[in-house]
Amino acid sequence: MPQEHVSQLDDYARVRDVLSYLTENWRDQPSLDVLAQRARMSPEGLQRLFQRWAGLTPKAFLQALTLDHARAMLMDRASILDTALDAGLSGPGRLHDLFVTHEGMPPGAYKERGAGLVISYGFHPSPFGVALVMLTAFGLCGLAFADEGREQAVLAEMKGRWPNARYTEDSAATAPVAARIFAPEHWRDGRPLRVTMIGTDFEIRVWETLLKIPAGKATTYGDIAAAVGSPKAARAVGAAVGRNPISFVVPCHRVIGKSGDLTGYHWGLTRKRAILGWEAGKLAG
């Protein structure tokens, strides 16, 4: 066997071992130095190798495992202190930092489905009809579309996702965000929008995968199912895509059927065609 192939197999074996170790021992929150010693590499070398093979750093993988467990505990009504300690964190402060960084909200608000959050909303014109834009202090939490006369029905549906939040109409606050969302010249300016999503672990993994689909590209429900580690769950992926709370920004419109058909869209198939055509035109321009 060529030496290059031997080296690749050795690298893969190291990464696989570290992944397995993290999956089994994440509650111990092992440091990069501990992982590097296990892999018989320098910390810097393991960091580069792991990121090349896994697409993220060992720390990011560990945080994802921790966050998945914490989400599940909080949704099962565990206390914040019990969740932090069971997740191997030193206390609620560490859990708070983890949630604010990755969820855009404190763990208490996540647990209580928006309790304690103030959500500002406003209706604004967009290239695809009236857009409902919803914001928390932590970022964009909702973007929906409404046909004429359906604004209040769409607002009621979106409120159901955050039933315990307090809502206030504030178009002055949401207008700059709405303007930026539909201005392609601001999409690559190094200032990404902060978004806040609440859902099941599976839904959030699906929505995070949607964020990776480039403009002008498309993927299938099956491809997303494979990407989230559930290759036989295309139907469940379809349901999660349909519940995406931040349409357009989290681009569920770029998901198509296995045959290439556009399939459904929560805000209407005509609107999906319009969005895809608009994006193609902007990229061509």
Active site residues: 252
CB within 8 Å of 40: residues ≥ 6 apart = 14
CA distances 268 to 12, 73, 103, 251, 256, Å, are 44, 35, 28, 14, 14
CB within 8 Å of 82: residues ≥ 6 apart = 73
Per-residue tokens: 206: 């699906």
Q: ∠258-260-264 over CA atoms, to 5°?
A: 85
CA distances 147 to 117, 154, 158, 160, Å, are 28, 9, 15, 19
Q: Are 256 and 269 in contact (CB under 8 A)?
A: no
3-state secondary structure of 169: strand
In whole angstroms, what is the distance from residue 56 CA to residue 67 CA?
A: 15
Please tell me the total number of residues recorded for the chain in this structure: 285
* Helices first, then strands: H and E counts in the chain: 13, 6
30: amino acid identity, one letter: P
> Which of 117, 124, 121, 122 has its CA nearest to residue 198?
117
Q: ∠189-212-272 over CA atoms, to 5°?
A: 90
